[in-house]
Chain A
Amino acid sequence: MAVPFIELKDAVGGYDRTPVFRPVNIGIPKGEFAGIVGPTGSGKTTFLKIILGLLSPLSGEVTVSGVSVYGNKKIPIGYVPQVETVDWDFPVTVEEVVLMGRCKEKAFLPWNSKKDRQDAKNLLERLGLGELAKRHIRALSGGQQQRVFLARALISNPALLILDEPTAGVDIKTQHNVLHLLGELNKEGMTILLTTHDLNAVAAHLPWVICFNKGIIAQGDPEDIFTPAVLKKTYEADMNVIRHGDFVMMAHSTPLSFKKKKRQP
């Protein structure tokens, strides 16, 4: 087995000495494209934060390509936070946001080098935002906003890309585009880790899924692990799994009956 790129050994994440989840042991190989699913408050974001090095694990070890992440600034991680955490009134243009991604490298001058600006331009063009460099971040559609923050993550050419709910709050078409883009990046060799709420439209299409609820419940190919038993343990609710060829679909097993009964003619 290959040496895992991201490795957690008995890692416990939490705040103020209060653990949020049970000790986690997991190894994610390089080039993986994995989704983390689980209910709200299950500790998904905390799990991401200890991998990002934003939180020190309360116990255990978290390493990315063999080095401990907490307090280490050398690991090239691209991070796309949840859209809701962004201050949309902040006076920054698309280009200014994207070039924040270049902040750590020799950033002792207030202006951006020609190369930086060219790289930003190329990247924005690739993401279909070429015309929008001088726009304020609020003057964009939801999908464009998502891609701007993706561009900020990509401009430093990270080996690992971590996204917190990249498909929340955007329409189906945008969701599709974002996933396609991520798939492309993954093909180029980037390791991608994301959290999602959407089992059917997102998680079911990923090559690897980690079911998380205060610890890892199961992980594997969604076709294998999306079973009523695993889902029940993850979501603490009964769910049905419908299989149709290669297609897996999850649904409530007890349909809500708010609908009025059809009138008999």
Chain B
Amino acid sequence: MDIIFAPLQYEFFRTGLIAAPLVGALCGLLGVYIVLRGMSYIGHGLSHAAFGGAVIGYVLNLNFYVGAGLWGFLAAILINQVVRKNKIGADAAIGVITTASFAIGVALISRVRHFTKNFEAALFGNILGVTLNDVWIVFAVFLVTSGVIFILYKRLLFTTFDEETARVYGVSTAWVDTIFSLILAASIIASMQILGVTLIAAAIVIPAITARQLTDSFNKMLFYSVIIGALTSILGMYCSFYFDIASGASIVLFAAATFTAVLIIKRFKRPKMEIQAPGLPEVSGEIPHEHPHRHEGVLHLHPHQDIEDRSHDHHQAEHGDEKGEAHPHPHPHTHGREKHQHDHGHPHQDHK
């Protein structure tokens, strides 16, 4: 118990412990849409773009959130437009736009050498230096993002699944995409101070892709991803405290370990085989298999329910006894669910 409560006496830890799961849940929520759209690196890109904006903002004496915010929104919308209007893949558009924005920041830092602000926190994150103000901002962004996703849930799902068909069905996918870009940019900027520019991509991708391993249903994937994002953040915070490592790195490593564990467990716990061939009865748990075998010159086919029954030797022996039995109906035929009508040694006269 002490392990859990001991760190709570420090104020920085308490603040961090509120901020981290909020950021984790937020990134987990948006991550589902991002991963399914194959835009995994947009988190990475946008945070870099916003970093450029933050530096510009600093040079112009603006608030961090104003500089990073404006720049981040701009980059997000630009990516959207470039992908929509030109035949450029999302990955390439992200690469060009966001790296250029980041480069502006780097150029400015190298030009104006006398910086008083330490940009290391923005690059690598410093959850332990998070102020209450930052927590409020994350909280506000979390509320707005959840609200938008709640209202746009169906449209976002349809747009993510099949943008073109969604348009035929009356979904304004351009609007949906723009709004999504905005909440994404806001979330990344709010999370940046806490996780750092360089680690945000992992916080977005890992919970979502872990959740995907656990379910085939969209709403469950959303739910799991949020939970995984929040939980790994809390546990990562404790790891960070006890092992004295950077909190952002600790959270990301914890999430990566969870993902690996899920993959390994999944490998060992293979789901029961399900065979769903059209026209074949659906059998789960066992693998029915058919094999042709011949008796009295007639080719004969029927399914075996017994998974162990692989050798088929018995047929020769048993059907061999049936010499002289007539087959009045044409073969081959397949039997449906009736379990092994032709019990071994059973003559086939009942098929008249």
Which B residues touch A77, using CB under 8 A? 168
Say yes or no: is A261 at the interface (Cβ < 8 Å to chain B). Answer: no
Q: How far is the CB of B277 from chain A (nearest CB, A)?
A: 7
- Pick the most buried of B162, B164, B169: most chain A CB atoms within 10 A of its CB: B169
Which A residues touch B157, using CB under 8 A? 92, 96, 100
In angstroms, Cα B247 to Cα A233, docked, is: 70
Say yes or no: is B36 at the interface (Cβ < 8 Å to chain A). Answer: yes
Contact stretch, chosen from A1-9, A30-38, A103-111 = A103-111
Pick the contact of A91: B155, B165, B216 (CB < 8 A).
B216
Say yes or no: is B221 at the interface (Cβ < 8 Å to chain A). Answer: yes
Residues of A in contact, count (CB < 8 Å):
38
- Pick the most buried of B157, B172, B215: most chain A CB atoms within 10 A of its CB: B157
In angstroms, Cα B159 to Cα A87, docked, is: 12
Which B residues touch A91, using CB under 8 A? 36, 212, 215-218, 220-221
Interface bits B143-170 vs A (CB < 8 Å: 1, else 0) = 0000000110111011011101111111
Residues of B in contact, count (CB < 8 Å):
32
A174 touches B158 (CB 8 A): no
Interface bits B270-283 vs A (CB < 8 Å: 1, else 0) = 00001011100000
In angstroms, Cα B162 to Cα A86, docked, is: 7
Which B residues touch A90, using CB under 8 A? 36, 160-161, 218
Say yes or no: is B70 at the interface (Cβ < 8 Å to chain A). Answer: no
In the complex formed, the residue of B with least CB distance to A140 is B276
Say yes or no: is A148 at the interface (Cβ < 8 Å to chain B). Answer: no
Which A residues touch B165, using CB under 8 A? 79, 81
Which B residues touch A234, using CB under 8 A? none
A107 touches B155 (CB 8 A): yes
Which B residues touch A136, using CB under 8 A? 216-217
B170 touches A103 (CB 8 A): yes
Say yes or no: is A73 at the interface (Cβ < 8 Å to chain B). Answer: yes
Say yes or no: is A222 at the interface (Cβ < 8 Å to chain B). Answer: no
Within 8 A of B (CB), among A70-102: 73-74, 77, 79, 81, 85-87, 90-93, 96-97, 99-101
In angstroms, Cα B216 to Cα A93, docked, is: 7
- Pick the most buried of B162, B166, B277: most chain A CB atoms within 10 A of its CB: B162
A53 touches B150 (CB 8 A): no
A52 touches B171 (CB 8 A): no
B161 touches A100 (CB 8 A): yes
Interface bits A136-149 vs B (CB < 8 Å: 1, else 0) = 10111111100000
- Binding site secondary structure of chain B: helix
In the complex formed, the residue of A with least CB distance to B215 is A91
In angstroms, Cα B166 to Cα A53, docked, is: 12
Interface bits A119-146 vs B (CB < 8 Å: 1, else 0) = 0000000000000000010111111100
A141 touches B276 (CB 8 A): yes
Interface bits A246-262 vs B (CB < 8 Å: 1, else 0) = 00000000000000000
Which A residues touch B217, using CB under 8 A? 91-93, 96, 136
Say yes or no: is A217 at the interface (Cβ < 8 Å to chain B). Answer: no
Q: How far is the CB of B71 from chain A (nearest CB, A)?
A: 30
In angstroms, Cα B274 to Cα A140, docked, is: 11
Which B residues touch A53, using CB under 8 A? 167-168
Pick the contact of B154: A86, A87, A110, A156 (CB < 8 A).
A110
- What are 24 A-B pairs at a CB distance below 8 A? A52-B168, A53-B167, A73-B170, A81-B162, A81-B164, A81-B165, A85-B164, A90-B160, A91-B36, A91-B216, A91-B217, A92-B217, A93-B217, A93-B218, A96-B217, A100-B157, A103-B154, A103-B171, A104-B170, A104-B171, A107-B154, A139-B276, A142-B278, A174-B278
